[in-house]
Amino acid sequence: MELFFIFVAIVLTQNFVLHFFLGICPFLGVSDEMEGAFGMGIATTFVMTLTAIITWNINTFILKAFNVEFLEYVSFILVIASLVQLVEMFLKKYLPELYETLGIYLPLITTNCAVLGLALFMVLREYNFVESAIFGFGAGVGFTLALVIMAGIRGELNEEDIPKPFRGTAITLLVAGLLALAFMGFSGLVPT
């Protein structure tokens, strides 16, 4: 039950994008098309899950064991950057189509603050291994959910006659804000 709550919390009530406002740049940048948004979401989910698993091990067996927890930022960034590289190589080899579609977004996952945020939250909340893995996967699912919803809304907005001052960036930010408000409706789903 505990694990289920962790998952629901990170997907709905404490969604990285809509609750913590982390990873806003891909959220606004890649959400103009459904296909790109979904691909980005899946790639990020993969990186997040692996990041959670690997950083938990590094944190527990290396950093804590040697009493050098202050290295968490540096070592976590190292893990994330290496993972993204690995994912890139893997996709290039086995899924060249997806690799072409994602293009520049793929290396940009490295600088997605939601991924680093995930690793740091995990340490802060003192999750155990299984909890961390669920947390990482859930964070990715939540990120994908936010991106896909946003892409859907923006797809509809393209057809609408928006007042001139609100066009472009303004309406996108307004929608993002409203979406965050809507997600507040989920609070209370998970007992704190």
Partner 1 sequence: MFGPVVIISASTMAGLGLLFAGLLGFAHTKLKVEEDPEVTEIEDILPGLDCGACGYPGCHQLAKGVAEGEAPPDSCVPGGEEVAENIADLLGLEVSSEPGRMKLAVVHCGAGNEEKKRVGQYEGVESCRTAELTTGGNMKCEYGCLGYGDCARACPFDAIEMVNGLPKIDPDACTACGECVETCPRDIIVIEELDLEGDFVKVACNSKDEGSAVREKCDVGCIACGLCEQVGPEEVFSVEGNLSRMNYSEYGEDADFDMAIDKCPTGCIVLFPSPEEASETD
Residue numbers at the binding site for partner 1 (CB under 8 A) = 58, 62-63, 66-68, 70-71, 74-75, 78-79, 82, 85-86, 89-90, 92-93, 96, 103-104, 168-169
**Angle at CA 24, nearest 5°, toward 192 and 56?**
55
Cα dihedral 65, 70, 74, 77, rounded to 10, equals: 80
Under 8 Å between Cβ of 16 and 23? yes
CB of 176 to partner 1, least distance (A): 17
CB of 174 to partner 1, least distance (A): 15
Nearest residue (CB) to partner 1, 70 versus 156: 70
CB of 144 to partner 1, least distance (A): 24
Q: Which long-range contacts (CB under 8 A, 24 or more apart) does 150-153 make?
A: 150/27, 150/28, 150/31, 150/37, 150/175, 150/176, 150/179, 151/31, 151/32, 151/33, 151/34, 151/36, 151/37, 151/38, 152/34, 153/179
**Kind and range of the H or E run holding 182:** helix 169-184
CB of 124 to partner 1, least distance (A): 20
CB of 58 to partner 1, least distance (A): 7
Nearest residue (CB) to partner 1, 103 versus 152: 103
Nearest residue (CB) to partner 1, 94 versus 124: 94
Nearest residue (CB) to partner 1, 25 versus 170: 170
Nearest residue (CB) to partner 1, 1 versus 70: 70
